Amino acid sequence: MAVKNNTYNIQEVGLAKALVRKGHICDIVFWTDKKEETITIPVDDVGSIHVFYRHGMTMLKNTVYKNCEDLFNQYDVLQPCEYNQMQAWILAKKYPEKTVIYHGPYFSPFNKHYNLMCKAFDAIFLKRYIKQKTSFIVKSKMAKEFLISKGISSQNVKTIGVGIDAQMLSNDRKKCSEPLYQAMTDDHSSMKLLYIGRFEDRRDIPFIIDVFQKVLEKNVNARLYMIGTGDPEYIKKVFLYMENAGVRDKVVCQEKMEQKYLSCIYKQADFFLLPTEYEIFGMVLLEAMYYGNIVLTTRNGGSSTLIEHEENGFVFEKKDALQWANTILNVTEEKKKLIQKSAEETISNGFTWDKLSEEFLNVYRKKSER
């Protein structure tokens, strides 16, 4: 995870910055297979974060850090990620009084490999979490349900969510010259639909095309904007699907865009579509809502925590292209403004890292009182 010259919303960095702004020391350990180094990130005028890049033994997306005991001993709270990571389990075993695990995944039939990993982990290691009453912070309601289903007490699981670092979305004063932005600015269509993210089966890009086609069938002057890339074969499949659907000339695509320019894109969009099969949280949901897009999505980690159906967005149990298109077409201007305002307030009032950091601190304090 590269933090130098980064413009992406790295969750660990966003939370650490918020905690430092509150007067605490907060540093980060990231794995690297290159030379070990320490990067310093200044935080406003109040302090800094140290990012320690350290070596570790890695297998099956699981890393155990080497020679970090002296580092771990310097801190009052240790917050590893994911309940089934061996590093999280080791810290919870060795430092039960100061370990809080931040967990995001939940059960989904789509995650066959992850489900098998969890089954193996649970058979050998799960009981220690239950016995020691390990503390967990989770990213979504679905993640909490997932841990409780394994026998972990609900009293030891706190749903907080994921925050947004607004600085990373609008920290550049240069005028955006990205081709997609220029096309969007020059476009006088009455409706602009947006998708940002990887092009992959999990996100079901052809379904977005189906929804867009249904909208166009109602003689609406609309255009679809898409930012993302993926496997070349899947990209080829998507563009062929657009051609066959007769909408290719109404879709504007760009592979990549720096995070700092995305605010310019979100601000011009009307609806954001995310028909995902699985989403631990979905930073794009946070970003789209923060900038007043009306989000249409499936039930997933982020939507289960952020969205009240028809109040600040739309969450559908199934992917019915006509239902999604009719929802888009039937939102009146008055209703649109209300949903946009509610979406913005949901994020700005409750899901910035500065807001959420106090909830993290409450869990840390409760842990230290045990």
Predicted pLDDT of residue 169: 67
Instruction: Report CA torsion sign: 184, 187, 188, 190.
Output: negative
Predicted pLDDT of residue 173: 60
What's the token pair of residue 229?
A: 């890339």
What's the token pair of residue 95?
A: 């430092």
Left (φ > 0), alpha (ψ -120 to 50) or beta: where does 204 sit?
left
The β-bridge relationship of strands 251-254 and 222-227 is parallel
Neighbours of 57 (CB within 10 A): 12
- Look at residue 256 and give its three-state secondary structure: coil
Domains of the chain: 11-163+353-369 (3.40.50.2000), 172-350 (3.40.50.2000)
Closest by CA to 82, choosing from 60, 102, 97, is: 102
SS percent in the chain: helix, strand, coil, step 5 = 45, 20, 35
Predicted pLDDT of residue 7: 56
What's the token pair of residue 109?
A: 């039939």
Predicted pLDDT of residue 368: 73
Q: Fill in the amino acid letter for 212.
A: F
Looking at the DSSP assignment, which residues form a beta bridge with residue 316?
A: 298
Predicted pLDDT of residue 172: 56
Closest by CA to 79, choosing from 153, 135, 128, 126, is: 135
Phi, psi (rounded to 5 degrees) for 73 = -70, -15
230 Cα distance to chain centroid? 18
| Residues in the chain, total | 370
Torsion of CA 221, 219, 250, 343, to 10 degrees: 60
Predicted pLDDT of residue 260: 83
Which residues of the chain carry a pLDDT beneath 50?
none
Cα separation, 13 vs 26, in Å, equals 9
Query: Could you write out the DSSP letters of every residue in 150-189?
Result: TT--GGGEEE----B-GGGTS---SPP--HHHHHHHH---
Neighbours of 38 (CB within 10 A): 10
For 319, which DSSP code?
-
Cα separation, 220 vs 250, in Å, equals 12
Predicted pLDDT of residue 176: 85
